[in-house]
Structure 1
Amino acid sequence: MRLDKFLAVSFIETRKKSRDYIKEGKVKVNGEVITEPAIEIKENTDIIEYLDKVVAYREKVYYMFHKPAGCITARKDADNITVFDFFHEDNINGIFHVGRLDKDTEGLLLFTNDGDFDHQLMCPERHVEKKYFFWALGSLDEEDRKRLENGISIGEGEALTKPAKIEVIKYGKYEELEKETDIGKFYNIESKHYNQPIVCGYLTISEGRKHQVKRMLKSVGCYVVYLKRISIGELTLDETLEKGHYRMLTEEEVQKLI
């Protein structure tokens, strides 16, 4: 294994930071200072030290996290709670988030220390599907659905989105659906707007552009008020996992993704 990869997996936050520390002479292999990040080491037998402290090799780990709304997908932030604030200190070293979710979006977010795993899921050429549940102000007719399914413009100078899948679950006026749904938990609407249309459903995409789901629905006249990612590829969010909690993926779940 490369020395920089060993440090990234076992201790340091990123591969780039690992390379910096190695070049700065802060890392030893079997007692010798090494400044070449690409050197191959034997992770199970060589003694690796960072600032004269032994770094233990950490096996690959994979976490499922049920992200709540209100926290940002970042390691640190001066003004906001981050997704890493929900992790125990013993589990945080070397891991990073796979993709990201907006601050107000809930649902499935994965964490790992496996760069290859991250690449397989996030690489645009692989077209891994991500499924979202949404509530939106507005309506979706047959023409709107076809536009979403076939590819739609969401920004000047951008290519059309890749074909998506749309499934409408409920639609009608807010005043009609307020009592039979939980939309009131996510959006407080003024009484004078009770007669405006709302719609909920699932949108499945295979890209990861910024605010993509919200922008796609906005392009057909829908304003998203609640968004939750429920699956990535063949992996579905474990609904027994409370918001703000995480667990290790099972071997079967990992295999579903790779």
Structure 2
Amino acid sequence: MRLDKFLAESDIGRRKKVRTYIKEGMVKVNGDVITEPAIEINESSDVVEYLGKAVAYTGKVYYMFNKPRGYITARKDAINKTVFDFFDNVNMNGVFHVGRLDKDTEGLLLLTNDGDFEHQLMYPQKHVEKTYFFWALGSLDEQDREQLGQGIYMGKDEMITKPAKLEVQKSGMYKEFKHEMPIDNLCNIDSNHYNQSVVAGYITISEGRKHQVKRMLKAVGCYVVYLKRASIGGLFLDESLKKGQHRFLTEVEIQKVLGK
């Protein structure tokens, strides 16, 4: 195994970071300072030290996390709580989030220390599909659906989006669905008659632009008030996980999300 891979999978840091550590002479193998990240080691018999302390090989880890609203997808934030606050009793050194979800978006978030896994899911040319469930103020007619299905312009100087798949599940007035919508307060609703059109459904995209789902739906006249990621690739959120809970991915799930 390569030395940099060993360190990355032993909670020392991401692959790019540990390469710097190695080049700066912070790492020893069997008592000798090694400055070449690509050197091959035996993870079972070689003694690896980082800053004078022996490194125990932990291997790759893959977490499924049900992200609640109100948390930042980051390791730390000066103002807001982050998704890592839910892993207080877990050694998360070297573990990072795969992609991100907006602060007010819920649902499936993956975390790992495997850089290759992240690359397979996040690299734009891989076109990994991500599906979201949404509630939005507004309506979606056939023309809107066709636009989203063909690709749409979200803003000035931006390329047209890749085609999205849309499945409308519910459509009508807010007064019909207010008890189904998982939102506590909507200041944009007509408080007198609740005659605000609303629509719910699933949208699947294969890109990862900033606020993409919200902006795509806004481009056809819909204002997203609730968003939850339901799946990445062939992997669906385990609905038995309560918000804020996590578990390890199974080997079958890991292969499924990689499309194998």
Q: Please classify the TM superposition score into its range, dividing by the shorter chain length.
A: over 0.9
* Partner of residue 244, structure 2: 244
Unaligned runs of 5+ in 2: none
- SS of equivalent residue, structure 1 residue 120: helix
Partner residue, 2:184:
185
C-alpha change, 1:172 and 1:58, in structure 2 (3 Å) is same
Higher helix share: 1
Q: Measure, in 2, the Cα distance between the counterparts of 1:199 and 1:16.
A: 44
- Tell me the distance in 2 between the aligned counterparts of 1:226 and 1:97: 22
SS in 1 for 2:135: strand
Give the AA of the match of 2:77: D
* CA shift digits 1:75-100 (9 cap, x unpaired): 11111111111114434122111111
**SS of the counterpart of 2:175?**
helix
* Aligned counterparts, 1:66-145, within 5 A: 66-145=66-145
- Whole-Å Cα distance in 2 between the matches of residues 256 and 168 of structure 1? 26
How many residue pairs match? The answer is 257
Q: What is residue 29 of structure 1 aligned with on the other side? A: 29
CA contact (8 A) 1:186 1:226 kept: no
Question: Which runs of 5 or more structure 1 residues have no equivalent in the other structure?
Answer: none
Q: Which residue of 1 aligns with 2:222?
A: 222
- 1:191 alignment partner, SS class: coil
- CA–CA separation in structure 1 for the residues paired with 2:185 and 2:205: 23
**Identity between Structure 1 and Structure 2 (%):** 69
Structure 2 CA distance for aligned equivalents of residues 200 and 72 of structure 1: 25
Is the Cα–Cα contact under 8 Å of residues 135 and 198 in structure 2 kept in the other structure? yes
Residue type at the aligned position of 1:59: G
RMSD value, Cα: 1.5
CA distance in 1, matches of 2:181, 2:139: 18
Structure 1 CA distance for aligned equivalents of residues 242 and 185 of structure 2: 17
Q: What is the alpha-carbon distance in structure 1 between the residues aligned to residue 185 and residue 92 of structure 2?
A: 30
Distance change in 2, residues 1:195/1:230 (3 Å): same
Deviation by residue 1:187-235 (Cα, 9 ceiling, x = unmatched): 3545147211111111001111111000000000101000000001111
Give the secondary structure class of the aligned counterpart of 2:9: helix
Give me the whole-angstrom Cα distance separating, in 1, the residues matched to 2:134 and 2:26.
48
* SS in structure 1 of the partner of residue 90 of structure 2: helix
- Name the SS of the counterpart of 1:133 in structure 2: strand
2:198 corresponds to: 198
